[in-house]
A and B are shown apart, each in its own frame.
Chain A
Amino acid sequence: MAAKSIEETAKVETPRVAWLMGLAAWAVPGLGHVLQRKFVRAVLLGGAVWAMFFIGLGLGGHLYTVTDHGLGALVQLLPMSANVGTGLLYLACWLTNSGFAEQAHRVTYEYGNTFLLVAGLLNYLTALDAFDIAAGRKQ
């Protein structure tokens, strides 16, 4: 009985719209919730991510990209994957070549880096939240 129930649960497919909402939330922080009419969540989550991103840039932080070859690239890959969490914000910076220059002379440089990294990581959480809501796993 229990095995049958687990089997039935496993067969439940995730709606395609849930993937789209997750993708939208990743691409533009807050958009996934706006599209689902969760405006308060959108303002709180999207606002926090946008604020962290621009505060990070303002404090002199920089975005990571893979520039080295070999093992050096692996060291850069991890923070870059965190930065990529900000979606189109990262892409826009990459296209305009802004936000990648190190400003280590600034006192708040490390703070800026931390803000930028965590903005991306928090946006992954935001995208998961939008996905869960669209999939009906959360209200």
Chain B
Amino acid sequence: MRHVLWMAVFAGLTGIVFGVVAKGTDRQRVIYGLKVFGEFIAIAFVLGWILYFLPIR
């Protein structure tokens, strides 16, 4: 659970910076920041499940 929490914190902080430095209206930048956050989380879960099934231990 701790790993997921820190991953979410990382995604959140990165999303904030990406959203603030992006161009566009405030609304567009907020949406972009949320999109970056969501993409980080989604990709991490997808990669996590892919790695789970790979016999790499």
Contacts and interface: CB of A to CB of B under 8 A. Distances in A.
Contact of A129 (B3, B6, B9, B21): B21
A70 B14 CA distance: 34
B17 A49 contact: yes
A21 interface: no
Among B2, B6, B20, find the residue whose CB has the most chain A CB atoms closer than 10 A: B20
A125 B6 contact: no
Among B2, B6, B23, find the residue whose CB has the most chain A CB atoms closer than 10 A: B6
Tier of interface size on chain A: 20 to 34
A52 interface: yes
Contact of A41 (B3, B7, B10, B20): B20
Interface in B10-27: 10, 13-14, 16-18, 20-21, 23
A138 B14 CA distance: 20
Given A44-B20, A45-B21, 13 more contacts: A41-B20, A44-B16, A45-B17, A45-B20, A48-B13, A48-B17, A55-B9, A107-B2, A111-B6, A114-B10, A115-B10, A122-B14, A122-B17
15 contacts: A44-B17, A44-B20, A45-B16, A45-B17, A48-B14, A48-B16, A55-B6, A59-B6, A114-B10, A115-B10, A118-B14, A122-B13, A125-B17, A125-B21, A128-B21
Interface of A: 41, 44-45, 48-49, 51-52, 55, 59, 107-108, 111, 114-115, 118, 122, 125-126, 128-129, 138
Interface of B: 2-3, 6-7, 9-10, 13-14, 16-18, 20-21, 23
